[in-house]
Amino acid sequence: MKVVTRFAPSPTGFLHIGSARTALFNWLYSRHHGGTYLLRIEDTDRQRSTKEAIDAILDGLSWLGLNWDGEVVYQFARAQRHAEVAHQLLAAGKAYYCYATPAELEAMREEARKEGKSIRYNGMWRDRDPKDAPPGVKPVIRIKAAQTGSTTVRDHVQGEVTVANDQLDDMVLLRGDGTPTYMHAVVVDDHDMGITHVIRGDDHLNNTFRQLQVYEGMGWQAPDFAHIPLIHGADGAKLSKRHGALGVEAYRDMGYLPAALRNYLLRLGWAHGDDEIIPTEKAIEWFDIDDVGRGASRFDFAKLTNLNAHYLRETPDSELLPLVRPLVEKALETPLSATALERIARGMNGVKQRTRTIVELAAGLVFYARAGAPPMDDKAKAQLTPEARGLLARVATTLDQASVDWVESTLEAAVKDVAETASVKLGQIAQPLRAALTGSTVSPGIFEVLAILGRDESLTRLRAAA
C-alpha cells in the first residue's frame, strides 16, 4: 500500500510550532515510506479563516523545507462534494433530516447542564417522519450513529482506545443552509484524497470516534490514525506564547535555521537511541510514527539554541551570507559596500564558531562591516586605560611600517615584539587591541581580525582609540 499523509491546518492563525511538528511527522512518515504528503487548508470556517493566515502557513512550511506534493487542496472549494456525500448517506438511511428548533436544542443543553452530563443531541428526529416537520424550519442532516456496542481505534501512538457507542451523538453533517460541518468535511476529504494515515494532534482523538461513523455509513475504509501528544512548556504547563507557542516565522526572526528547528521538533516526542543531532536524511531513514511517545513533550529553548549552534557551524559560509546581510545592513542603517561584504565573508567562519543564532552571528559581524572606529561597549571602554592607549599607539606605529606584511603570522610576530619591548604580557595589549578594533571584549582571534580588516582600516581604529 502506498502511504499518503496530509497536513490539514485551519488557517485561523500562524503556523505555530505544534502544528509545524504535526506537519513534520506527516512529511517524514510519507518520505520514509516513499509515499505522498498532501496539504489541505481547512478553510470551511469562513469567519475565522484569513488569507493572511494561509500565506503564513504556506510560507512557514516552505521555510521549514516541508514541501507538499501536488496542489494545495482548499476544503471550502469542496463544499458541493461534502453535501453530495451527506445526501448519499441520507438516501441510504444512514443519516436523517433533523428539524429540531433552536429552542429545543437549547432545552437539551439546559438539561445536560443540570444533570452534569456532556451536551448531546437526544435523537428526537432520528426515527420521525419528515412529514411531521414543523413549517419554516430548515433541517440539518445528522448521521445515524451507532447506539449500541463500542468503537475501537487502534492508534499508532495512543494504542487501542475504545469508546462505548452510546457516548456518541448524531452529529450534524450538513447545516440548514447546506454548508458542511468541519467534522464531516474532514472525513470526505481524507477519503477522496486517498489518505492512508491521519497523523494529527491528540486533541482530535475524540473526534475520531464520531468521524468513524461517517466512514462506516459510506462503507469506506477508514485510514490509520496516529494522535500525537501536544507540546508543553519547559515547566510542564500547556504551551503559551511565553513558552514558545509562536509562529514559525518568529523562530526564523530569532535566528534559528530550518534544519535545526526540524531536528528539534523531531526530538520532541521521538527518539533514536541517544542521538541528539539527527540530520533530515537520517530522520527520513529512521522515522516511524509508532515510535512517537504518548506523553506530552516539553519545549526547551536552550536545547533548540544548542542544536542551532551546531547547524550554524555546519552551514557553508556562502549560505549564511544572504541571511546575515540584511541584519547587518539594518544595524548599520546602510547597504553594505563591496569591501564590507568581503570582510564579512572572510570573517564569517571565525564569528560563527562563537555564536548560536543568525541574529548573534550578524551582531558579531557588524564591526567588520563598519568604516571607521566602532562604538564601544562599557567593558571595551574600560580596557582603554591611559597605559593601554600608549601601548596601542606603539602598536600602530609598528604596524604602519611598510615592512609589515599584512597577514596573521606577521601581525602576530609584530605585536608580540611590541609587548616584549614594552615588557608587558601579550594579553595587556591584546584586550585593548580587541576593544579598539571591534568595540567589544569578545571577538575572534585578534590577529585574524587585524588581517581581515586590512591595514588602513585597522590603523584608523587603533589611532582613534589611542
Residue type, 433: L
Identify which range of 7-15, 84-92, 150-158, 360-368 contacts ligand GLU by CB under 6 A: 7-15
Q: Which region, judged by CB under 6 A, interacts with ligand GLU, from 3-11, 51-59, 231-239, 281-289?
A: 3-11
**From the CB of 233, what's the least distance to ligand GLU, in Å?**
20
Instruction: Candidates 81, 191, 204, 272: give the one binding ligand GLU (CB under 6 A).
Output: 204
Rounded (10°) CA dihedral 192, 194, 199, 205: 50
List of residues 6+ apart from 179 with CB closer than 8 A: 44, 79
DSSP string spanning 221-284?
PPPEEEEEPPEE-TTSSBP-GGGT--BHHHHHHTT--HHHHHHHHHHSS--STT-----HHHHH
Nearer to ligand GLU, 40 or 461 (CB): 40
CB of 10 to ligand GLU, least distance (A): 4
Task: Tell me, yes or no, if 241 is annotated catalytic.
Answer: yes
- Under the criterion CB under 6 A, does residue 10 sit at the interface with ligand GLU? yes
Residues 6+ apart with CB under 8 A from 232: 238, 239, 243, 296, 297, 298, 299
Which window, 2-10, 91-99, 156-164, 341-349, contacts ligand GLU (CB under 6 A)? 2-10
Q: Long-range contacts made by residues 67-72, C-beta under 8 angstroms, separation at least 24? A: 68/7, 68/37, 68/38, 68/39, 69/36, 69/37, 69/38, 70/36, 70/38, 72/39, 72/40, 72/41
> Interface with ligand GLU includes 8 (CB under 6 A)?
yes
211 or 438: whose CB is closer to ligand GLU? 211
Q: Which of 14, 33, 39, 42 is the binder for ligand GLU (CB under 6 A)?
A: 42
Residue with cell 462534494: 81
Nearer to ligand GLU, 204 or 354 (CB): 204
Q: Beta strand pairing status for 172-174 and 159-164?
A: unpaired
Candidates 8-16, 262-270, 356-364, 455-463 — which segment interacts with ligand GLU by CB under 6 A? 8-16
Q: Rounded distance, CA 5 to CA 39, Å?
A: 9
Total binding residues toward ligand GLU, as defined by CB under 6 A: 7
The minimum distance between CB 239 and ligand GLU, in angstroms, equals 14
Residue with nearest beta carbon to ligand GLU = 200
**38 C-beta neighbours (distance < 10 Å), count:** 23
In angstroms, give the least distance from the CB of 9 to ligand GLU. Answer: 5
Could you write out the DSSP letters of every residue in 297-317? EE--HHHHHHHHHHHHHHS-H
Q: Which is nearer to ligand GLU, 17 or 186 (CB)?
A: 186
- Please, which of residues 54-113 interact with ligand GLU by CB under 6 A? none
Three cell numbers at 385?
586605560
- For the segment 138-167, give every residue that binds ligand GLU (CB under 6 A): none
d(CA 90, CA 426): 88
Residue closer to ligand GLU (CB basis): 10 or 410: 10
Q: Which is nearer to ligand GLU, 139 or 201 (CB)?
A: 201
* Beta carbon of residue 186, minimum distance to ligand GLU (angstroms, whole number): 5
Nearer to ligand GLU (CB atom), residue 190 or residue 448: 190
**Single-letter residue type at 262:** R
Q: Which stretch binds ligand GLU (CB under 6 A): 6-14, 24-32, 90-98, 419-427?
A: 6-14
Stretch in the footprint of ligand GLU (CB under 6 A) among 5-13, 171-179, 224-232, 313-321? 5-13
User: Least CB distance from residue 71 to ligand GLU, whole Å?
Assistant: 18
Q: Strand 140-143 and strand 172-174: pairing?
A: antiparallel
CA atoms within 13 A on the CB side of 427: 1
Q: Interior CA angle at 308 toward 307 and 309, to 5°?
A: 90
Q: Would you say 19 or 440 has its CB closer to ligand GLU?
A: 19
200 binds ligand GLU (CB under 6 A): yes
Residue 10 or 428 with smaller CB distance to ligand GLU = 10
Q: Which of 9, 229, 233, 374 binds ligand GLU (CB under 6 A)?
A: 9
Q: Dihedral of the CA atoms 115, 117, 119, 122 (nearest 10)?
A: -70
Residue 306 grid cell:
544548542
Q: From the candidates 241, 330, 379, 381, which is the catalytic residue?
A: 241
228 forms beta bridges with: 201
What gap in Å lies between CA 319 and CA 306, rounded to an integer? 20
Whole-number minimum distance, CB 91 to ligand GLU, in Å? 26
Hey, what's the torsion of the CAs at 445, 448, 454, 455, to 10 degrees? 70
Binds ligand GLU (CB under 6 A): choice among 17, 86, 89, 186: 186
Closest CB 11 distance from ligand GLU, rounded Å: 9
Active-site residue set? 241
Provide the binding-site residues for ligand GLU, judged by CB under 6 A. Answer: 8-10, 42, 186, 200, 204
